[in-house]
């Protein structure tokens, strides 16, 4: 049985335009950042996941400013012509938009166990079976600017330890974003 269409909708995000403006103000979310790629690599290794992202969400898309993919076991420098995961994803794909709106971490050890999430396009298009993500909370506004997340094509038993880890690492990245902004102001 497929979930009702209303359960698949991307949540209403009343802060989308304000978030987009804030990301422009900080100067992130439009281009890859090597430091964020390195962070995504550490995140994937720490949680034992196939992919990891530092994701910023504006009013119409998600942008992976940090990305780790298992190609040759190394970080990948993605270009549009490469046959690898792209850095841009529609807002209605994936689970990060739910994390941003809720402003809370989300662990889905098996997305198929949750009718609300099992019908997401990333399940069929990319084969995603598990997800763990946490919001990047902005110190100035309190809004979630994006997420850090890991995804895998296999079911992953992240449990409470995975939840604690993703939350702690999200705080590290949020602190880094704050320092980046502070550096721009000096």
Q: Which domains are present in the chain?
A: 5-185 (3.30.450.40)
pLDDT of residue 85: 52
CB 115 within 8 A of CB 3: yes
Average pLDDT in the chain: 86
**What whole-number distance in Å separates Cα of residue 149 and Cα of residue 163?**
11
pLDDT: which is higher, 96 or 125: 96
Mean pLDDT along residues 110-116: 89
pLDDT of residue 184: 63
pLDDT of residue 90: 85
**What whole-number distance in Å separates Cα of residue 138 and Cα of residue 157?**
29
pLDDT at 28 over 70: yes
What pLDDT band is residue 172 in, cutting at 50, 70 and 90?
A: very high
Give the rounded percent of residues in the chain with a pLDDT score beyond 90.
66
What is the strand order of the sheet 61-68 is part of?
Answer: 88-90, 61-68, 51-57, 144-152, 130-137, 106-108
Mean pLDDT along residues 132-156: 96
Question: Could you tell me the two tokens for 17?
Answer: 């335009």
CB 151 within 8 A of CB 48: no
Q: What is the dihedral of CA 161, 67, 87, 35, to 10 degrees?
A: 120
pLDDT at 1 over 50: no
The full length of the chain comes to 186
pLDDT of residue 10: 73
Residue with tokens 């970080």: 75
């Amino acid at each position: 049985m497929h979930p009702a269409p209303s359960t698949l909708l991307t949540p209403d995000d009343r802060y989308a335009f304000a978030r987009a403006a804030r990301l422009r103000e900080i100067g992130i979310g439009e281009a890859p950042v090597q430091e964020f790629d390195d962070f995504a690599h550490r995140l994937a290794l720490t949680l034992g996941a196939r992919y990891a992202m530092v994701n910023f969400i504006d009013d119409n898309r998600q942008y992976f400013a940090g990305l780790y993919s298992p190609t040759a076991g190394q970080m990948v420098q993605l270009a549009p012509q490469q046959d690898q995961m792209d850095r841009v994803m529609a807002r209605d794909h994936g689970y990060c938009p739910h994390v941003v709106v809720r402003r809370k971490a989300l662990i889905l050890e098996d997305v198929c166990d949750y009718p609300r999430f099992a019908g997401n396009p990333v399940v069929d298009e990319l084969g995603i079976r598990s997800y763990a993500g946490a919001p990047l909370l902005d110190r100035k506004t309190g809004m979630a600017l994006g997420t850090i997340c890991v995804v895998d094509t296999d079911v992953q038993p992240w449990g409470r330890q995975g939840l604690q880890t993703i939350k702690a690492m999200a705080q590290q990245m949020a602190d880094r974003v704050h320092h980046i902004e502070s550096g721009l102001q000096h």
